Structure 1
């Protein structure tokens, strides 16, 4: 089919996308510096895929390294994941986020241009919508940023847009909502360092006994059960969206798309669903609202359905079940962060 370069391919979403691309028949080359992942992921990918992984270890901030990769391999398109991604950390370290996310994309695109590679799928985020007023959120909603992280993603979208006005770029911008779950094998998944900032990994650590309880930040929002609504999408569905996006780029079709289910899930609904999968009521308590949380944040996925033929396949029970299988497997043996 095509040879795809996957930056940050050992990370949570990148590793699952590697498998989806391979399953679709593409050849895949991974570059990663393991600053937010572990080399063991590569061994596990090889085990699942049944063959060696074409890996180059290095940073997207190293232009000579990038030039070497493009000289070594005939690349047809790039899926770009390599970036810093924590909202809270970005507030404390904005310059680091500007360097990795904005300058990293710029260097990558310069080397792509030098190699004559014009197709790129960019990993963006729903945080570029700021505090939206329209639900579900369409791609035409006003864009803004409430953190340095969101600023970098919005700036990168603008870089792609401006570059395409000068050169023959074909770009796919995918605005993620809330990726969750794990590969059905239980060999790869999300295991964030420290106390998780996202709901499902936090609940998983409560289920393992590593955290005492889930604190629900506010139960007086204008939603059916008073807790915040979010759009959760299984990581394997998200990975498949990248395959479909690259397929459109290979046909010369650019796009900017939401990737979500369009079906909001409340904090308490997620807690109940995970408790059902685990087989016991997980401890939780209602706490005060958390600054910065918005009551509702969920996608209008109609454009992705129309342009990519994309429809999420995993339901909430499967999201929780694959997550629980993954964290149990890691608790029983060797664990790593990705």
Structure 2
């Protein structure tokens, strides 16, 4: 039996593939390479000594997906594939709705036709919206403030409806907080196209000289130092959360939302100062006005993951930063 990993050459997908290969799982990756590179496959092989089956295809391509299922004995799917930049989603919303929502529906239809009803879905803490107080837990009402968040929320609602309509489905809906870090080897890490949308790749690219300075949006929040506080989680901890979810899928009936976070908040300036200390590099920054929709403090209640999956985040902030810096300093231009 094989596992299908959509978006498996991306940041979180590639780290999850490494963890699954360590358990001798047979992996089939489907990725359209819109925000990744086939060089990732070489790095995965360097780390694990193992190869995967790679198929360059788009999740919106029903014919290509059907062929994958017909040619491989797929038992379960981990669905990472999707556009993920919040700012960009407001500029090209139709692309986000088409790729993320329509692509997911196509994948689910093919899965149903092939009677493969085990799924781990890559969701996001953005589905909690602006009005819930931290720590955020899975019982809270959901909403979204941008097209990217709307796509995750729409897919979650589709999954809940699907599971209610057919009790054979087992779906773990993993709500990520803020993934950072990289594999300890320094061979794979976050490699965004263009200007990074997330804090850590931006900081690390400033540190290696690819970008001149960091912009910090707002320093007047009611937080420890006025900058926004988020729940940063090491990407390897996050990947191991997917492994645990796959192991527990047989016990999950219906669609179950599960937070993956540390349960701790860290401010932007705490990240910057820790990065400076560990890397020995200066991180020049300027303060810009708050962005619309940004919240002062966001962090997880991860008790469901602990109870249901037997999972908790193990790596501390210093490890997250050190691994990020090792990746970026060894690969100043990413995979190029």
TM-score of the alignment, normalized to the shorter chain, above 0.5: yes
Question: Structure 1 length as normaliser, TM-score?
Answer: 0.95
CA deviation after TM superposition for structure 1 residue 215, in Å: 2.6
Query: Where does structure 2 lack aligned partners over 5 or more consecutive residues?
Result: none
Between stretches 189-198 and 69-78, larger displacement belongs to 189-198
Map of 1:233-252 to 2, 5 A cutoff? Answer: 233-252=233-252
Map of 1:132-281 to 2, 5 A cutoff? Answer: 132-167=131-166, 168-253=168-253, 254-281=255-282
Judge conservation of contact 1:132–1:141 (CA < 8 Å) in 2.
Answer: no
- Partners of 2:47 and 2:282 lie apart in 1 by 33
CA deviation profile, 1:20-61 (whole Å, cap 9, x unmatched): 111233221111111111111111112211022211121111
Residue equivalent to 1:77: 76
Judge conservation of contact 1:134–1:141 (CA < 8 Å) in 2.
Answer: no
Residue equivalent to 1:8: 7
CA deviation after TM superposition for structure 1 residue 132, in Å: 3.0
Map of 1:31-180 to 2, 5 A cutoff? Answer: 31-167=30-166, 168-180=168-180
- Partners of 2:288 and 2:65 lie apart in 1 by 47
Residue equivalent to 2:28: 29
Residue equivalent to 1:282: 283
CA deviation profile, 1:106-130 (whole Å, cap 9, x unmatched): 1111111111100000100111111
CA deviation profile, 1:171-200 (whole Å, cap 9, x unmatched): 000011100011111111112122212111
- Partners of 1:52 and 1:218 lie apart in 2 by 45
CA deviation after TM superposition for structure 1 residue 134, in Å: 1.8
* CA RMSD after TM alignment: 1.4
DSSP-derived class of the 1:90 partner: helix
After TM superposition, the runs of 4+ consecutive aligned structure 1 residues lying more than 6 A away are: none
Judge conservation of contact 2:196–2:202 (CA < 8 Å) in 1.
Answer: yes
- Partners of 1:336 and 1:43 lie apart in 2 by 10
- Partners of 2:285 and 2:34 lie apart in 1 by 33
- Partners of 2:108 and 2:199 lie apart in 1 by 34
* Number of equivalent positions: 334
Judge conservation of contact 2:21–2:50 (CA < 8 Å) in 1.
Answer: no
Question: Structure 2 length as normaliser, TM-score?
Answer: 0.96
DSSP-derived class of the 1:6 partner: strand
- Partners of 1:215 and 1:147 lie apart in 2 by 21
Judge conservation of contact 1:227–1:268 (CA < 8 Å) in 2.
Answer: yes
CA deviation profile, 1:49-95 (whole Å, cap 9, x unmatched): 10222111211111111111101111110000111111111111111
DSSP-derived class of the 2:74 partner: coil
Query: Where does structure 1 lack aligned partners over 5 or more consecutive residues?
Result: none
Judge conservation of contact 2:172–2:252 (CA < 8 Å) in 1.
Answer: no
CA deviation after TM superposition for structure 1 residue 251, in Å: 3.6
- Partners of 2:201 and 2:252 lie apart in 1 by 38
Residue equivalent to 1:326: 327
Judge conservation of contact 2:75–2:118 (CA < 8 Å) in 1.
Answer: yes
DSSP-derived class of the 2:173 partner: strand
CA deviation after TM superposition for structure 1 residue 285, in Å: 3.0
- Partners of 1:252 and 1:199 lie apart in 2 by 34
